[in-house]
Amino acid sequence: MVRFLLVLLILVLPELALASGFESLKLTGTERGIYTVIIFVIAYGFVMAEEFTGMKKSKPVILAAGIIWAHAAVLATSAGVTTEALHEAFEYNLKEYAELMLFLLVAMTYINAMAERNVFEALRSWMVRKQFGYRKLFWITGIITFFLSSVADNLTSALLVGAVVLAVGSDNEKFVSVSFVNLVIAANAGGAFCPFGDITTLMVWQAGYAEFFDFFKLFIPSVVNFLVPAAFMYFAVPDEHPVASNEAAVVMKPGAIQVCVLFFLTIASAVSFKQFLHLPPFMGMMVGMSVLMLYGFRITTLYRADENNQFDIFNQVRDAEWDTLLFFFGVVFAVGGLGYIGYLELLSAAMYDGLGFTTANILVGIISAIVDNIPVMFAVLNMSLDMDLYQWLLVTLTAGVGGSMLSIGSAAGVALMGQSQHKYTFFSHLKWTPVIAAGYAASIFTHYLVNG
């Protein structure tokens, strides 16, 4: 927390000039400039307090983004900047958001479609009926979450598998608590080595700093990040069996397997658009979504008389995580506005010029345990850093897994605290922070050994 406050202090110091994607105003020392930083800090305070206030995180950051850009426009006018130059800076952020939002919307729609077809519920039912022991379930749920989060986001993966943990261990608080910590680590680690697994990884890929298959070089470091703390926590899991369950098997709805296949073909389409056609990957995702829409129409036609098996794609679009998508809008424009005023240049000078690439990138992961990794990574991407592939993969890894050190450091942790019925809390996670930090350090060292 002290380091985070030091970063904020740096933001209000007189300006330091560095090159960026577009010419910044370099007006960080002005009263209006400092005011925008205060607005951002206040808004993010509300984001961090979401668990206690109940106010969705998108609301304060969207308001902050509007206020910040209003002040940026006034500062630009007072500095004699042309309207065209102001629009260029603004539209840069709009382009960044539009590409990522459309990509994520398709991914979320597919995940919702698979959930609606009972794919995940059938998996949960199967695991409950197998009557595995708690220790075996600890590993099974962790490994499933690790790989599931490489194609779904960490929030969805943790919640889906968390439902399994609660279903089989509702009468054993210790098992639920330790398993939920394991799920948070697994979800964050699994999302780090694939562009589809985490928003920050997706941002690095779409920005062109690494190719799609480059991220798989992080697979072994991600595995280490998951296994090191899991090996310690395993001995805290009760060596017992859950109470026998008589739950009936859940049957998947018609078209469930086909929807899963279409999702993986959509991923292949996105990769192909990027790798071979040199077009933004969201276009490949939109093509995949159109195929899902057509297949959904076929399901509806075949089961017109059976309302339970009909499929409406727009219900899945409606149920996308709109709070997350709009939060991302607020973050992109708020951070982008601060960058236009000149604050990202200050941050870049303080961290990367002052500490060096490796130390700064490790610090990014530590900061992301306190602050959401999305604004942190967006800030890094907009610093116009001249880093090689090794360093871009390092910051992708640290930003992805650093949030595991605290329960509030990632969406997965926050969501599981709400789902756990008070069996998993901030402090039950905190007592495992030392071994999670050991996994964080081990993954960085493994990245050095494997990719350095």
Q: Identify the CA nearest to 189 among candidates 156, 145, 135.
A: 145
Which residues does 148 contact at the CB level (< 8 Å), separation at least 6? 157, 160, 161, 190
Q: How far is CA 70 from CA 67, 76, 115, 129, 306, in A?
A: 5, 10, 41, 57, 52
Contact criterion met (CB below 8 Å) for 379 and 347: yes
Residue 175 backbone class (left: φ over 0; alpha: ψ -120 to 50; beta: rest): alpha
Which residues in the chain come in under a pLDDT of 50?
1-21
Alpha carbons 338 and 416: distance in angstroms, whole number: 32
> What phi and psi, each to the nearest 5 degrees, are found at residue 434?
-60, -45
Alpha carbons 37 and 358: distance in angstroms, whole number: 27
SS3 55: coil
> What are the DSSP E strand ranges found in 50-187?
none
- For the chain, the domains span 27-451
Count CA atoms within 13 Å of residue 133 on its CB side. 7
Please spell the DSSP secondary structure of 88-119, one letter per residue: HHHHHHHHHHHHHHHHHHHHHHHHHHHHHTTH
Look at residue 38 in the predicted model and tell me its pLDDT. Answer: 93
182-237 pLDDT tens trace: 999 999 999 899 888 788 888 888 888 888 889 999 999 999 999 999 999 999 99
Q: How far is CA 300 from the centre of its chain?
A: 33
Count CA atoms within 13 Å of residue 359 on its CB side. 8
Look at residue 22 in the predicted model and tell me its pLDDT. Answer: 60
Look at residue 248 in the predicted model and tell me its pLDDT. Answer: 76
pTM: 0.78
Look at residue 436 in the predicted model and tell me its pLDDT. Answer: 96
Look at residue 244 in the predicted model and tell me its pLDDT. Answer: 67
Look at residue 278 in the predicted model and tell me its pLDDT. Answer: 87
Sort 302 into a burial class: Cβ within 10 Å, 0-12 / 13-18 / 19+.
middle
Which residues does 111 contact at the CB level (< 8 Å), separation at least 6? 152, 153, 156
Look at residue 304 in the predicted model and tell me its pLDDT. Answer: 85
Alpha carbons 155 and 160: distance in angstroms, whole number: 9
Q: How far is CA 244 from CA 128, 169, 178, 449, in A?
A: 9, 11, 21, 46
Cα dihedral value 352, 358, 360, 361, nearest 10: 120
Contact criterion met (CB below 8 Å) for 325 and 317: no
- Assigned token pair, 88: 């260029």
Look at residue 325 in the predicted model and tell me its pLDDT. Answer: 86
Q: How far is CA 251 from the centre of its chain?
A: 31
Alpha carbons 76 and 305: distance in angstroms, whole number: 61
Contact criterion met (CB below 8 Å) for 126 and 252: no
Contact criterion met (CB below 8 Å) for 199 and 381: no
Look at residue 51 in the predicted model and tell me its pLDDT. Answer: 67
Q: Identify the CA nearest to 300 among candidates 235, 254, 233, 361.
A: 254
The three state secondary structure string of 170-206 is CCCHHHHHHHHHHHHHHHHHHCCCCCCCCHHHHHHHH
